[in-house]
Chain A
Amino acid sequence: GAVVSQHPSRVICKSGTSVKIECRSLDFQATTMFWYRQFPKKSLMLMATSNEGSKATYEQGVEKDKFLINHASLTLSTLTVTSAHPEDSSFYICSARDYPKQIFGQGTRLTVV
């Protein structure tokens, strides 16, 4: 079946550095991918919609300069957390639609120290 591969699954970085998270659709093309953030014991919060070949659409309150999204091909979207701070520590997960289901990546647990 359709798979969305997200990498890395865990990352620890120092404050002030940038971290890139990749989300790749395997065996299907994804013109649109979604990036979510999840705080402990909370539900997922949509951060942005990633569109292949065009600018991402960010949800209200999400800083586009901090969370850079690139969707350069039909199978790859990346989320870069720039100048990371401890409050950016969270679980980030992507998804893409392979009709009729949404296929989710495995998630990335980011810890900023």
Chain B
Amino acid sequence: KNEVEQSPQNLTAQEGEFITINCSYSVGISALHWLQQHPGGGIVSLFMLSSGKKKHGRLIATINIQEKHSSLHITASHPRDSAVYICAVTFSLNTDKLIFGTGTRLQVFP
């Protein structure tokens, strides 16, 4: 069983829609990362969270430590947002080792 679960696995949306991707994890963590992987394979780190909420442009990431849950929101989605979004966690302050979720494949159509 994966320690980091994401939902949905696949998501399609029309341009302009509000997108939510969810991530749940099984035990306490030291940090949670949201990553974006484009079709060519390159990965970009979007956020690192240990509590609360962060915003960057049209992207918002939230985390609820008590519920062991994080969400990534995309406002006013655009076709260029089409990518795989990956949630990853570190379970200890002593390591940068990431445990990855299964990813959410997002396609935004014009």
Contact = CB atoms under 8 A, between A and B. Distances in A.
Interface in B25-51: 31, 33, 35, 40-45, 48
27 contacts: A34-B96, A38-B41, A42-B102, A43-B86, A43-B103, A44-B86, A46-B97, A91-B41, A93-B41, A95-B43, A95-B98, A97-B96, A100-B31, A101-B33, A101-B45, A102-B45, A102-B88, A102-B96, A102-B98, A104-B42, A104-B43, A104-B44, A104-B45, A106-B41, A107-B41, A107-B42, A109-B41
A49 interface: yes
A93 B37 CA distance: 12
A15 interface: no
Contacts of A107: 40-43
Contacts, number: 51
Give chain B's interface secondary structure class.
strand
A70 B99 CA distance: 23
Give chain A's interface secondary structure class.
strand
B101 A43 contact: yes
A107 B86 CA distance: 16
Interface in A21-47: 32, 34, 38, 42-46
Interface string A101-113: 1111011010000
A101 B48 contact: yes
Interface of A: 32, 34, 38, 42-46, 49, 91, 93, 95, 97, 100-104, 106-107, 109
B4 to A, nearest CB: 9
Contacts of A34: 96-98
